[in-house]
A = this chain, B = another copy of it.
């Protein structure tokens, strides 16, 4: 047995390994047990170690991406806005009951045309993070976003969204104010927009709170961003009944840009400077600016009706199933 390899296996796998090792141990002690069978069992056991250590290795790699995607060092929504759009003017409030500082919205100019920009902003230091509620949206935020997107639709401005959120805020008030309907309403509105919609996942793409802003004609992910139906931690708590499974969950969920491109859930991966966006924020922002400009060019050739139809078709065609 290769003990070194076992060391590299995730805790949760270890439990399984130990229990099967105990079985082998029992087998050894059995009278009718033949050496050949024992060898088979041991080889199977070793294969298992091999498999588990590979899974663990991969999980660790994915987990690094998770941490990187969440890193406060990466450029954030406000950085992209500042670096990409001229005349950016922030617009506040849902005109209903409040303003959500975790979601930034406004108008700006790129390539000589006006666009609406909406995005999650997490904030960098503790104060900022608290102020922005760590990028976790509340209904007022999604409704503000809807208001600005409607404004954009009315005036024919393309919509650019930046996604970077652990997920919608799980608070009592948020629930009482209709978090569910705010998210579904945002998704629905984005399908109704007659203008090009470009969504860029710049960091963490957490669940429904991310999707609420990510119904784009083109959805792009930065190389080291992640996008997931549930946080690996929560997934682990539910499925592995244990928080230590978070890295395995991160791998199992397929949340990297590469995975999502392969699955057809996004259109494009935007490559980052070597070592990640945080190594050269200026260049990263330029790359994203170029992407947005190019995407605007690509989408500019479609009529409003076509855009809506293609957007609906794209999302309605996602899914894997079989018959019989």
A144 → chain B closest CB, angstroms? 13
Query: How many copies of this chain?
Result: 2
CB–CB A97/B176 < 8 A: yes
Residues of B with C-beta under 8 A to A274: none
CB–CB B177/A97 < 8 A: yes
Residues of B with C-beta under 8 A to A176: 97
CB–CB B95/A96 < 8 A: no
How many angstroms between the C-alpha atoms of A176 and B99 in the bound complex?
A: 12
Residues of B with C-beta under 8 A to A139: 96-97
CB–CB B95/A97 < 8 A: no
Residues of A167-182 at the interface with B, using a CB-CB cut-off of 8 Å, are 176-178, 181
How many angstroms between the C-alpha atoms of A176 and B140 in the bound complex?
A: 13
Residues of B with C-beta under 8 A to A95: 178, 181
A187 → chain B closest CB, angstroms? 15
Q: Which of A95, A96, A139, A143 has the most chain B CB within a 10 Å cutoff?
A: A96
How many angstroms between the C-alpha atoms of A95 and B178 in the bound complex?
A: 7
A151 → chain B closest CB, angstroms? 15
How many angstroms between the C-alpha atoms of A178 and B143 in the bound complex?
A: 14
A236 → chain B closest CB, angstroms? 34
Residues of A141-195 at the interface with B, using a CB-CB cut-off of 8 Å, are 143, 176-178, 181
Residues of A58-105 at the interface with B, using a CB-CB cut-off of 8 Å, are 95-97
A179 → chain B closest CB, angstroms? 11
How many angstroms between the C-alpha atoms of A143 and B143 in the bound complex?
A: 14
How many angstroms between the C-alpha atoms of A139 and B178 in the bound complex?
A: 16
How many angstroms between the C-alpha atoms of A139 and B95 in the bound complex?
A: 11
How many angstroms between the C-alpha atoms of A143 and B176 in the bound complex?
A: 16
Q: Interface on A for B, CB 8 Å cutoff?
A: 95-97, 139, 143, 176-178, 181
Q: List 14 A-B contacts (CB under 8 A).
A: A95-B178, A95-B181, A96-B96, A96-B97, A96-B139, A96-B143, A96-B177, A96-B178, A96-B181, A97-B97, A97-B139, A97-B176, A97-B177, A97-B178
